[in-house]
């Protein structure tokens, strides 16, 4: 538990981390109530960092001295995430930072019981703001106490499990609803086996979500593979040939450094790019990339001497400038942005196109539903898997890919692997 003084308040703000069936979560509270609940990020360290950002203290450190009432909340959360539905409607909250509209939305959402769902439009009407479905969605996207304010029980008007701010997005939303026994969910082009199974909501081992345990990704790869096999027989045959899904995420110190590395690596072999990137970092005498301000102060001759082309040096300088301006979202901000929003933000940087942004989503963030329509490897893998003499157009690939939602990243990975088959 970590404790600090809230600015302008007599309340102390504390946080603690705890294990659940879906991974390590974090809970923050004051004397008045729960202030934040962080679902698992890609690693426990990311989870701790995310809750620290929510409580506004990046230097916070965890200890373990929870008061009795917080321990009771933690136990209820653990039971709920193991498949034993619990009622969180009477847990006290301390949400001083939210707007009056957000507060109304959260109060209405707390009235949705396990196994039930609402649409964003229905919730908008309940709070007295018909037509404000998008505003309701934004309010729920900023929800600091997921599960306790059950934003995962709010779906699109067509029953689709739309965006979810927790790491893993819609797949986490689907899993939480499955645990609660919800039956009113629709998925695009496929049905989740976990929504059809007899064990939904009963805490069976198959319903557990283990971030990072399968292929180093936040989503359930076993569920993804089973869903793809059910939705596309051609892809099912490819999956049988290739074997287990084994995507490994690349390490990332920050989005800034990851994007800088992507810029350097463009159109080079991995060996040559690694050498050049090492030289670029060595300009400032360290193994890590310099701060954006240092890069902007470095002359083009030094970057050229490290092996950067003029265009890549210009792109690195533009990335540095946009990082200083705050245009590059932080990891915490990316958790509440959908894929297209992240792509839009990243492609504003010189030298970062849509393909680079999509690779960032797949290999850095582990987003589960990315289909890079312009990727030559994916298109070649598609032609081979589906017995086509010509490469598919992006439109043809997009149409077939609708069957693979919400796991198009996994489908893309298998199409890449199709090129390795004899």
Pairing of the two strands 2-5 and 12-20: antiparallel
Tokens standing for residue 132: 């404000």
* Contact predicate 61/2, CB 8 Å: yes
* Contact predicate 233/403, CB 8 Å: no
CA angle 368, 115, 194 (to 5 degrees): 40
CA angle 290, 303, 284 (to 5 degrees): 30
- What is the torsional sign of CA 15, 16, 17, 22? negative
- Cα separations in angstroms, 245 against 209, 220, 228, 240, 383: 16, 11, 12, 10, 20
| Strand positions, DSSP E, 9-126 | 12-20, 23-29, 34-38, 118-119
How big is the chain, counted in residues? 422
* Contact predicate 199/219, CB 8 Å: no
Measure the CA–CA gap between 412 and 91, rounded to whole angstroms.
42
For the annotated catalytic residues, the residue numbers are: 375
How remote is the C-alpha of 179 from its chain's centroid? 20
Pairing of the two strands 12-20 and 23-29: antiparallel
Measure the CA–CA gap between 288 and 272, rounded to whole angstroms.
18
CA angle 78, 79, 84 (to 5 degrees): 145
* Contact predicate 191/230, CB 8 Å: yes
- Cβ neighbors of 184 (< 8 A, separation 6 or more) are 117, 155, 159
**Which H or E run includes 13?**
strand 12-20
């Amino acid at each position: 538990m970590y404790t600090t003084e809230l600015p302008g308040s007599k309340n102390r703000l504390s946080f603690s981390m705890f294990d659940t069936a879906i991974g390590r979560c974090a809970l923050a509270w004051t004397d008045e109530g729960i202030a934040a609940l962080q679902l698992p990020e890609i690693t426990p360290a990311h989870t701790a960092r995310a809750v620290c950002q929510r409580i506004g203290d990046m230097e916070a450190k965890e200890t373990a001295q929870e008061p009795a009432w917080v321990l009771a909340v933690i136990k209820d959360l653990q039971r709920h995430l193991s498949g034993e539905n619990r009622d969180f409607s009477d847990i006290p909250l301390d949400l001083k930072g939210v707007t009056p509209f957000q507060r109304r939305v959260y109060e209405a959402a707390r009235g949705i019981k396990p196994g039930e769902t609402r649409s964003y439009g229905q919730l908008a009407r309940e709070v007295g703001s018909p037509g404000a479905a998008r505003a309701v969605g934004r309010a729920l996207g900023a929800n600091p106490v997921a599960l306790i304010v059950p934003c995962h029980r709010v779906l699109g008007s067509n029953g689709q499990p739309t965006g979810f701010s927790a790491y893993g997005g819609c797949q986490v939303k689907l899993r939480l609803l499955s645990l609660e026994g919800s039956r009113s969910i629709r998925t695009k082009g496929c049905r989740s086996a976990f929504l059809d199974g007899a064990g939904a909501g009963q805490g069976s081992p198959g319903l557990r979500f283990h971030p990072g345990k399968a292929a180093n990704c936040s989503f359930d790869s076993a569920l993804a593979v089973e869903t793809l096999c059910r939705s596309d027989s051609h892809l099912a045959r490819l999956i049988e040939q290739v074997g287990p899904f084994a995507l490994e995420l690349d390490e990332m110190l920050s989005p800034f450094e990851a994007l800088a590395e992507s810029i350097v690596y463009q159109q080079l072999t991995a060996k040559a790019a690694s050498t050049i990137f090492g030289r670029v970092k060595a300009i400032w005498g360290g193994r890590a990339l310099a701060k954006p301000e240092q890069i902007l102060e470095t002359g083009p001759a030094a970057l050229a001497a490290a092996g950067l082309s003029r265009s890549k040096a210009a792109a690195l300088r533009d990335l540095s400038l946009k990082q200083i301006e705050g245009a590059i979202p932080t990891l915490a901000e990316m958790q509440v942005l959908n894929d297209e929003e992240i792509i839009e933000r990243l492609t504003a940087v010189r030298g970062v196109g849509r393909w680079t942004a999509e690779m960032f989503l797949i290999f850095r963030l582990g987003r589960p539903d990315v289909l890079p329509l312009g990727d030559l490897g994916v298109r070649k893998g598609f032609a081979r898997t589906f017995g086509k003499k010509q490469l598919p157009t992006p439109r043809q690939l997009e149409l077939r890919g609708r069957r693979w939602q919400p796991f198009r990243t996994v489908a893309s990975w298998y199409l890449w692997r199709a090129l390795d088959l004899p």
